[in-house]
Amino acid sequence: MKNENIGLATIAKPYLIIGALLAGLAVVLGAFGAHGLKSLLTSQQLNTFEIGVRYQMYHALALLLLPALSITSTWGNRVAFCFVIGTVLFSGSLYALSISGIKWFGPITPLGGLFFIVGWGLLVIGLIKGHKSVKQQASQKPGASNV
């Protein structure tokens, strides 16, 4: 994947595009759920659908904000991968479960949640390591004092 250097972090450009697409799709699906599915689904099914939309938007926005963070491309791309896979599995399974009523989609949801959790954990690690590498780079610059 070609990397796009934006801000401090270098995140693979396809992840940023996917983040924008997922955010736009969350708006479309939210409107579809509120208007098109309201009369077709039970309140519990509609609530399940809305949870999928909510988590899709949270993680789409997180993808778009990754370049603003002090993390390396290695950590940033790992986080992005987890957020994308998590969104597909978590939100996708909730959409399928709520619309179709097929119960075997239910066990897929926690797997998506696991990808979200791992992604957030990797983000913490990346932020810690990113700040260390920024400090190391600053101390290695000519004329920097080593106090």
Of 24-38, 62-76, 105-119, 120-134, the one with minimum mean pLDDT is 120-134
Q: What is the pTM of this model?
A: 0.83
For helices 43-65 and 73-100, what crossing angle results, to 10°?
170
Confidence (pLDDT) at 3: 54
The 10s digit of each residue's pLDDT in 128-140 is 987 665 555 556 6
The 10s digit of each residue's pLDDT in 88-122 is 999 999 999 999 999 999 999 999 999 999 999 99
pLDDT band at 6 (very low <50, low <70, confident <90, very high): very low
Q: What is the mean pLDDT of residues 74-98?
A: 97
Using a CB cutoff of 8 Å and minimum separation of 24, what contacts does 62-65 make? 62/19, 63/15, 63/16, 63/18, 63/19, 63/22, 64/16, 64/19, 64/20, 64/23
Tell me whether residue 105 is exposed, middle or buried, using C-beta atoms within 10 angstroms of its C-beta: 0 to 12, 13 to 18, 19 or more: middle
